[in-house]
């Protein structure tokens, strides 16, 4: 079923009126069940192994102890291919912000365009926490030493956008309360089987924070308490993931119980999570009667394609000090 083009409501203070938190980093169960059954494939410990530590939120987004006990080793291995694409997709931010993954802060090395080594960009951290940037192309960066700002273009490796979406979907389903797994079983089926027919919203919304970075990743899963209006409808579930200096949001596919006849002629409304609240410097504005002006910007990216694609990421950031050797070879 095809819906008309999405309507996007930008922080109209209506998100919390429409959506209720049903799962989060703070409410994730930490008890080991008596009988282990995989929530993704439905097999029990007599059929599959549960020897690996399964993270509800992958450590590639930052070290965390968000572990689930109902993901079998087979599904864990299967989903790793999705997570590798998620890692490549966000790698520039994970590297620049200095997010320590399972073992260390990940190095970044860009792809080569047309096998030209001069299009390489790489970034790594030294043992004492300093950043070393190798920028072979003068076209890829701009440095304003006086204002201590820099703009860098990172040439990301090729990824499959749909795998990025499924990696985020897997995170969402890891935080879905057990009592709701049956209601949203179709989403689990689609994650496992690419031939399962489903209606999903492929837009990823990203907010890049300027005044905050997250020490560790956190996750919130919301369910709509009001689906239909006179002219529109709200998707049932939405996921918000916070990590590095990023707030990422997707809408999950529709369930089998969704009332499709009632949605006929209606458009989906994608309510944006009010991520601008993280950009407010409370100390700076404490005691001030002046209104707070927040620079709130988001980017929308379509993750529908199953084909490998490349995407350049331009990151603007400030620095306190640094040495620059800027020259152009003849």
- Per residue in 157-208, pLDDT (tens digit) is 889 999 999 999 999 999 999 999 999 999 999 999 888 899 999 999 999 8
The answer as to whether 225 is a domain residue is yes
The pLDDT of residue 11: 45
Residues 6/271, Cβ–Cβ less than 8 Å:
no
- Per residue in 119-136, pLDDT (tens digit) is 677 778 887 777 777 766
Largest CA distance in the chain: 69
The answer as to whether 260 is a domain residue is yes
The answer as to whether 268 is a domain residue is yes
Task: Concatenate the DSSP letters of all residues of 43-102 into one string.
Answer: -BTTTS---SPEESS-GGG-----EESS--HHHHHHHHHHHHHHHHHHHHHHHHHT---S
pTM over 0.75: yes
Alpha-carbon distance 52 to 102, whole Å?
14
Where does the chain show beta strands of DSSP type E? 7-9, 19-24, 54-55, 67-68, 108-109, 121-125, 131-135, 141-144, 149-155, 203-208, 218-224, 232-233, 237-243, 246-251, 267-271, 298-302, 312-318
The answer as to whether 209 is a domain residue is yes
Residue with tokens 């040439």: 155
- Per residue in 31-90, pLDDT (tens digit) is 888 889 999 999 999 999 999 999 999 999 999 999 999 999 999 999 999 999 999 999
DSSP designation for 286: T
The answer as to whether 301 is a domain residue is yes
User: The domain containing residue 208 runs over which residues?
Assistant: 7-84+159-316
Closest CA to 79 of 99, 100, 51, 54: 54
Place 222 in a pLDDT band, splitting at 50, 70 and 90. Answer: very high
The answer as to whether 99 is a domain residue is no
Closest CA to 93 of 60, 132, 69: 60
Q: How many domains does the chain have?
A: 1
The answer as to whether 115 is a domain residue is no
The answer as to whether 77 is a domain residue is yes
**Pair of tokens at residue 73:** 């080793």
């Amino acid at each position: 079923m095809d819906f008309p083009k999405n309507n996007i409501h930008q922080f109209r203070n209506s998100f919390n009126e429409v959506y209720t938190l049903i799962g989060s980093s703070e409410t994730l169960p930490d008890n080991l069940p008596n009988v282990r059954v995989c929530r993704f494939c439905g097999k029990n410990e007599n059929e599959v192994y549960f020897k690996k530590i399964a993270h509800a939120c992958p450590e590639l987004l930052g070290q965390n102890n968000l572990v689930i006990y109902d993901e079998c080793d087979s599904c864990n291995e299967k989903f790793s291919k999705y997570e590798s694409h998620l890692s490549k997709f966000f790698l520039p931010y994970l590297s620049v912000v200095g997010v320590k993954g399972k073992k260390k802060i990940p190095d970044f090395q860009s792809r080569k365009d047309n096998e030209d080594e001069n299009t390489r960009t790489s970034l790594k951290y030294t043992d004492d926490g300093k950043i070393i940037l190798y920028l072979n192309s003068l076209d890829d960066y701009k440095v304003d030493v006086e204002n201590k700002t820099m703009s860098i273009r990172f040439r990301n490796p090729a990824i499959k956008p749909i795998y990025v979406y499924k990696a985020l979907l897997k995170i969402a389903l890891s935080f879905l309360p057990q009592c709701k797994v049956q209601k949203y079983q179709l989403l689990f089926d689609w994650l496992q089987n690419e031939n399962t027919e489903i209606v999903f919203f492929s837009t990823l919304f990203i907010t890049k924070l300027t005044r905050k970075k997250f020490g560790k990743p956190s996750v919130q899963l919301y369910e709509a308490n009001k689906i239909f209006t006179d002219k529109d409808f709200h998707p049932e579930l939405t996921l918000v993931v916070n990590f590095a200096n990023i707030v990422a949001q997707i809408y999950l596919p529709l369930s089998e119980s969704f009332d499709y006849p009632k949605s006929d002629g209606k458009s989906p409304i994608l309510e944006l999570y009010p991520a601008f609240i993280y950009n407010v410097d409370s100390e700076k504005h404490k005691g001030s009667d002046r209104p707070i002006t927040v620079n709130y910007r988001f980017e929308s990216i379509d993750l529908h394609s199953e084909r490998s694609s490349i995407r350049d990421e331009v990151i603007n950031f400030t620095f306190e000090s640094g040495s620059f050797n800027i020259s152009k070879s003849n």
